[in-house]
Amino acid sequence: MLDTSVMVAALRSSRGASRQLLLGALTHRFELLLSVPLLLEYEAVLTRAEQLTAFGIGRRDVERALDDITSAARAVRLSYRWRPQLSDSNDDMVLETAVNGNADAVVTFDQADFAPLGERFDCRVMLPREALCELRGKTR
């Protein structure tokens, strides 16, 4: 699954690993997990005025992208809450989605914040470039 920081990077740059991962999710090259709280977090962050300026697109464009992401993702029902676990409480919704959805990995730039996820829940924590390399290795 993709942390919000990766979604931001995917929309800010068309050249990075984050964008390639987002495109991979949209084309079902891997299963993207999404819960209602995580979708709301994506929307709240991606539609901030400063983000829209950096992306060079409008709110409606972001909303369409979120619709596409929602269509491509597997919905995760949060049957058990794991809060608080991480140092940044905003990351707990990512953790809950990952654990409830049995994620293999969380892709994030916030490696230190997510370290307990890998240690306690047997879920890898990866940088976007690491995940992209693994994805490319699996599909070749």
- Give the CA distances from residue 23 to residues 29, 65, 118, 135, in Å, rounded to whole numbers and listed in that order: 9, 11, 25, 12
> In CATH, what number does 4-135 get?
3.40.50
**Residue reference for tokens 């654990």:** 99
pLDDT digits (tens, 9 = 90+) for 66-98: 999 999 999 999 876 655 565 566 667 788 898
**Residue reference for tokens 């470039």:** 129
pLDDT digits (tens, 9 = 90+) for 8-61: 999 999 999 999 999 999 999 999 999 999 999 999 999 999 999 999 999 999
Q: What is the pTM of this model?
A: 0.87
Strand runs labelled E in the chain:
33-34, 74-75, 105-107, 124-126
